[in-house]
Amino acid sequence: MTTVLVADDQPLQRLGFRMLLESQDDMTVLGEAANGTEAIRMTAELHPDVVLMDVRMPGLDGIEATRRITATGDRTRVLILTTFDLDEYAYSGLRAGASGFLVKDAQPEELLAGIRAVSTGDAVVAPSLTRRLLDAYVHHLPAKTPTDGPEPTPLDARLTALTDREREILTVIGKGWTNTEIAARLHLAESTVKTHVGRVLAKTGSRDRIQAVILAYDTGLVRPS
Amino acid sequence: MTTVLVADDQPLQRLGFRMLLESQDDMTVLGEAANGTEAIRMTAELHPDVVLMDVRMPGLDGIEATRRITATGDRTRVLILTTFDLDEYAYSGLRAGASGFLVKDAQPEELLAGIRAVSTGDAVVAPSLTRRLLDAYVHHLPAKTPTDGPEPTPLDARLTALTDREREILTVIGKGWTNTEIAARLHLAESTVKTHVGRVLAKTGSRDRIQAVILAYDTGLVRPS
DNA sequence: AGCGATGTCGTACCCGGGTACTACGGTGGC
DNA sequence: GCCACCGTAGTACCCGGGTACGACATCGCT
């Protein structure tokens, strides 16, 4: 059963979503939020699998709400919806940690498929956006461009939020050390290690140390031996 | 009207495919096969335009069935489906004469588009595979004419001790999947997953799945995303 | 026909990992 | 002087991971 929180300032729109989702026997709507602040509070309270997040809302908008929700390291995934396929929303939304970005005029089936996808950890992007998103992405990727070479460590944005100590912890996590080993070799109490690890997971949006290991490799913080 | 034969050992999966295909007014399902042998027999009998072929089936598997079907010189095209984007399957599948190779968790639209494509003689490959497939191809281009060397196994010695299934398990461990997720996506009991994981750890000399993740990355079994 | 390898599923048990708190000393900035 | 941040440490609790069994079906090989 996928639990969903609907965040949209339009009551009628919320009702539409609720009707659609409740018609599915594998989905249930935990609640409705009318703005970003409510969405954050209700997410912390109800822990839905997925938050259906409208971009335009009075007060705290959907992008900022997404950023704060994903920053908690909670298991909740955010699927952003907007009326228009404006690029800047998509970019900032996905950078804010959203698992997906769809346009509101999509087919109901697309929306449902999108919710199911993000609930299992996958990501979805509206087809109308995919191409432009990919273009922008690959424009940032290539190491084979002869122009700019001085990029040894383009670390993931998620790593910049870490303190030095936390990055150190992430490094040894990436080496496969257990909490006990970390405590022994760094002359710390195991409880302290747990505190650090917990903060690293929260800040990087990793659900467990395995995800953190993968992140360490993907960002190059730890290199294959 | 495109006629399709569905070959998959999972009744539920077959039902899903049938529902999807029958909902299209330009497609119809001629029949369902639960293993490779049945698929071959029913293909010879019904002459479908396309066979939707699962890789993993009891008895004769999808790859071998594909080989025998395409060897008949019949007009029937084979579109291979698998749960994972495992390279060896793709290689051997396409070498077996398949017209396409898609992953099961693709969007229904992708699947439908794929069926229509192969029915008209085109070929389709899952986006997640395209890159590696191209890499492999260009790697085969320079001066090498390998007739018997389809197995690029520079893998760590510890990996050779694993069975195919166990290597699959290690791959998804490397992707950070939990046992519960593995069970769900591979249609296995969690106890079975635990058994596999335990054997993988024992054979690779890993004390826990974190070490296994590291091994998967170090050997290149899983590549940084 | 028998046998080993492989894949599947189950139960029972223990332990490390992760969370949710609280707490306190040091340090640097304003 | 105060406060935000950081690093340290503790307790209590729950759950997923890993281990150790046993069991059964299929398949390939001899």
| Record: contact A176-B225, CB cut-off 8 A | no
Spatial contact of A129 and A85, defined as CB atoms under 8 Å apart: yes
Pair B7, B45 in one domain: yes
Cα A182 to Cα A179, A192, B210: the distances in Å are 5, 10, 14
Residues B7 and B88 in one domain: yes
pLDDT tens digits, B53-68 = 887 777 677 877 887 8
SS3 B102: strand
Closest protein CA to C1' of nucleotide D5, residue: A163
Does A99 or B158 have the greater pLDDT score? A99
For residues A32-46, average pLDDT: 85
Residue B142 domain flag: no
**B114 and B163: one domain?**
no
Q: CA–C1' distance B111–D29 (Å)?
A: 40
Nearest to A209 among B108, B210, B225 (CB): B210
pLDDT at position B89 is 58
Q: Please tell me the predicted confidence (pLDDT) of residue B83.
A: 65
Give me the domain span that covers residue B178: 157-218
Tell me which residue in A122, A178, A217 faces B217 most closely, judged by beta carbons.
A217
Please check whether residue A207 is in contact with residue A217, taking contact to mean a CB–CB distance below 8 angstroms: no
Task: Using the CA of B197, give the nucleotide whose C1' is nearest.
Answer: D18
Note the pLDDT of residue A6: 92
Instruction: Please compute the mean of the pLDDT values over residues B18-42 and round it to a whole number.
Output: 87
Residue A147's pLDDT band, with cuts at 50, 70 and 90, is very low
Residues of A in contact with B182 (CB under 8 A): none
What average pLDDT score do residues A37-42 get? 86
Q: Is the CB of residue B181 less than 8 Å away from at least one CB of chain A? A: yes
Q: How confident is the model over B82-97, as pLDDT tens digits?
A: 765 554 555 566 666 7
My answer on whether A129 and A174 are in the same domain is: no
Interface contact B214-A213, CB threshold 8 A = yes
CATH of the domain at A185: 1.10.10.10
Taking one residue from A and the other from B, the number of pairs with CB-CB distance under 8 angstroms is 37
Confidence (pLDDT) at A95: 59
Determine the Cα–Cα distance for residues B111 and B4; give it in Å rounded to an integer.
12
B118-141 confidence digits (pLDDT tens): 887 666 666 555 444 433 333 332
Computed from CA positions of residues A197, A206, A199, A77, in that sequence, does the dihedral angle turn out positive or negative? negative
pLDDT for residue A121 is more than 60: yes
Query: Can you give the distance from the CA of residue A205 to the C1' of nucleotide C20 in angstroms?
Result: 18
What 3-state class would DSSP assign to A23?
Answer: coil
pLDDT surpasses 50 at A92: yes
Cα separation of B19 and B77, whole Å?
Answer: 21
Angle between helices B36-46 and B62-71 (to 10 degrees): 30
Per-residue model confidence (pLDDT) at position B90: 56
Pair B81, B175 in one domain: no
- Tell me the residue type at A111: L
Q: A225–B210: do the CB atoms touch at under 8 Å?
A: no
For residue A122, tell me if it sits in a domain: yes
Query: Using an 8 Å Cβ cutoff, are A17 and A9 in contact?
Result: no
Does residue B31 surpass a pLDDT of 70?
A: yes
Q: In this structure, is residue A39 part of a structural domain?
A: yes
- CATH code assigned at B92: 3.40.50.2300
Lowest mean pLDDT among A17-21, A81-85, B97-101: A81-85
B208 CA to D19 C1' in angstroms comes to 11
Identity of the amino acid at B12? L
3-state helix, strand, coil in chain A (%, to 5): 50, 15, 35
Which residues are CB-neighbours of A45 under 8 A, at least 6 positions away?
A: none
Among chain B residues, the shortest Cα distance to A113 is held by B107
Is B141 contained in some domain? no
By the 8 A CB rule, do B56 and B62 touch?
yes
Query: What is the per-residue pLDDT for A141?
Result: 30
Contact (CB<8Å) A213/B210? yes
Concatenating the DSSP letter of every residue in A77-129 gives EEEEEESS--HHHHHHHHHTT-SEEEETTS-HHHHHHHHHHHHTT--EE-HHH
Instruction: Say if residue A23 is in the same domain as residue A114.
Output: yes
Residue A89 · residue A55 · CB < 8 Å:
yes
Residue A109: closest CA among A127, A92, A131: A127
Considering the domain architecture, whether residues B119 and B161 belong to the same structural domain is answered as no
Q: What is the mean pLDDT of chain B?
A: 75
Same domain, A60 and A165: no
Q: What pLDDT score was predicted for residue A137? A: 35
User: What confidence score (pLDDT) does residue A94 get?
Assistant: 61
B116 has pLDDT over 80: yes
Query: Which residues between 84 and 123 in chain B have a beta carbon less than 8 angstroms from any beta carbon of chain A?
Result: 105, 107-108
pLDDT tens digit sequence for B152-193 = 334 456 677 788 788 888 888 998 888 988 887 777 888 999
Q: Give the chain A residue nearest B173 (alpha carbons).
A: A210
Radius of gyration of chain B (CA): 18
Residue A146 lies in a domain: no
Mean pLDDT computed over every residue of chain A:
74
- Is residue B13 situated within a structural domain? yes
Structure tokens at B203: 């054979």
Nucleotides on chain C that have an atom closer than 7 A to a protein CB are 5-12, 16-23
Pairing of strands B100-103, A2-7: unpaired
Say yes or no to pLDDT of B98 above 60: yes
Among the ranges given (A39-48, A143-152, A178-187, B131-140), the one the predictor scored with the smallest mean pLDDT: A143-152
* pLDDT single digits (tens) A68-87: 787 666 678 888 887 554 44
pLDDT tier at A44, thresholds 50, 70, 90 = confident
Residue A89 or residue A17, greater confidence: A17
The alpha-carbon gap from A97 to the nearest alpha carbon of chain B, in Å, equals 17
Q: Does one domain contain both B53 and B104?
A: yes
Q: What does the radius of gyration of chain A's CA atoms come to, in whole angstroms?
A: 19
Instruction: Work out the angle at residue B171's Cα, subtended by the Cα atoms of residues B169 and B177, and round it to the nearest 5 degrees.
Output: 75
Number of domains in chain B: 2
pLDDT digits (tens, 9 = 90+) for A166-213: 888 898 899 898 898 888 888 888 899 999 998 888 888 788 899 899
- Whole-angstrom Cα distance, residue B212 to residue B214? 5
Token pair listed for A212: 């953190």
C-alpha pair distances (Å), A101 with each of A14, B8, B13: 17, 33, 28
Mutate to test the interface with A, among B104, B107, B112 (most CBs of A within 10 A): B107
Q: Do B217 and A210 touch (CB under 8 A)?
A: no
Domain check: are B167 and B196 in the same one? yes
Share of chain B above pLDDT 90, in %: 10
Q: Which residues in range 149-208 of chain B are in contact with strand C, contact meaning CB within 7 A of any of its atoms?
A: 163-166, 188-192, 194-196
The b/e string for A41-72 (b: 16+ C-beta within 10 A; e otherwise) is ebbeeeebbbbbbbbebeeebbbbbbbbbbbe
Do both A52 and A107 map to the same domain? Answer: yes
The angle at the Cα of A83, spanning A3 to A70, to the nearest 5 degrees, equals 45
Is the domain of B31 the same as that of B101? Answer: yes
A54 is a domain residue: yes
In a domain? residue A149: no
Q: Which residues are CB-contacts of B74 (< 8 A; sequence separation ≥ 6)?
A: B43, B44, B47
Residues 6+ apart with CB under 8 A from A143: A151
Cβ contact, residue pair A210, B176, below 8 Å: yes
pLDDT score recorded for residue A162: 82
